Amino acid sequence: MATACESQVRPSAMADGTAIRVRRGSKQLAGRTILRDVSFDVDRGSSCAILGRSGSGKSTLLAILGLLDRFDSGDLQIADHNVGELSPAGRDEYRRRHIGFVFQRAALIRHLNVFENVAVPLRYASTVGRRELRLRVGSALASVALEGFESQRPTELSGGEQQRVAVARALVTRPTVLLADEPTGALDAATADHVISTMLSASERDGTSVVVVTHDSVIARRMERSITLVDGQA
Ligand SMILES: Nc1ncnc2c1ncn2[C@@H]1O[C@H](COP(=O)(O)OP(=O)(O)OP(=O)(O)O)[C@@H](O)[C@H]1O
Ligand SMILES: [Mg+2]
């Protein structure tokens, strides 16, 4: 049965409440060490900023946490799995189940309306029926205060509204982890604050862990903790 319970029964953390565990993660790109023996934990339902100067490896780390890339050595555990042990197909499935992404630009699909944009990740989840899909999209849009915008096109929205749609799209699967790479880089301070608030309330409501790469110290201070990358180390 397609089920709202699915997200309640699937483990979203390790037995001790850790959602993400990185141990001695290292990554080289083009012969250069970008990440060196990075280790940290992110608890279920907590928030964390990743800081560091341009080129310090923040996006590289986020892509690895989102299973779009992998460490050359070291371990990454998300929810209840050591993801290094998953097959390529298993990683794709795990990403769909556990990870939501938000990037600097909302990257909405122009010819789809707001409802359909938010529904995209659920369309890949064959277990979600039509009624459940409608409920989930409605609740994701409510969580970013965009009820009533369902039939608008991305071009009819402000930058902040577009970014809130992108947050709703990332949250609609009720992921274990919400990863955001400079999600407010293109927004003014007040709009940025609102977008961050929507992420933090999802974290409180659903126990989603939020990891945000940012250059903005105001946003970093809104997270429970921060990790700074310097010379490839956290
Ligand atoms: N595909 C790649 N091949 C080779 N080098 C890469 C590749 N991707 C990134 N790099 C290098 O890795 C380093 C870290 O890049 P990354 O994008 O993770 O930095 P960042 O901290 O996100 O920077 P910014 O704040 O500017 O976004 C940079 O020096 C970059 O040039
Ligand atoms: Mg970056």
Q: What is the pLDDT along the chain (234 residues), one digit of tens a residue?
A: 333 334 444 567 788 889 999 999 999 999 999 999 999 999 999 999 999 999 999 999 999 999 999 999 999 999 988 999 999 999 999 999 899 999 988 899 999 999 999 999 998 876 889 999 999 999 999 989 899 999 999 999 999 999 999 999 999 999 999 999 999 988 889 989 999 999 999 888 889 999 999 999 999 999 999 999 998 888
Counting from 1 in the atom list of ligand 1, the atom nearest the Cα of 61 is 18
The residue nearest atom 2 of ligand 1, judged by CA position, is 29
Residue percentage of the chain with pLDDT more than 90: 75
Summarize pLDDT for 135-175 with one digit per residue, the tens. Answer: 999 999 998 989 999 999 999 999 999 999 999 999 999 99
Tell me, in angstroms, the distance from the centre of ligand 1 to residue 56's CA.
7
Is any atom of ligand 1 closer than 6 Å to the C-beta of 60?
A: yes
Residues at Cβ < 5 Å from ligand 2 ion: 59
Query: What is the pTM assigned to this prediction?
Result: 0.92
CA 181 – ligand 2 centroid, Å? 7
Contacts 24+ apart (CB under 8 A), 62-67: 62/179, 62/181, 62/211, 62/213, 64/25, 64/27, 64/35, 65/20, 65/22, 65/99, 65/177, 65/179, 65/211, 66/95, 66/99, 66/101, 66/177, 66/179, 67/91, 67/94, 67/95, 67/99
Q: Which CATH superfamily is domain 45-67+87-223 in?
A: P-loop containing nucleotide triphosphate hydrolases (3.40.50.300)
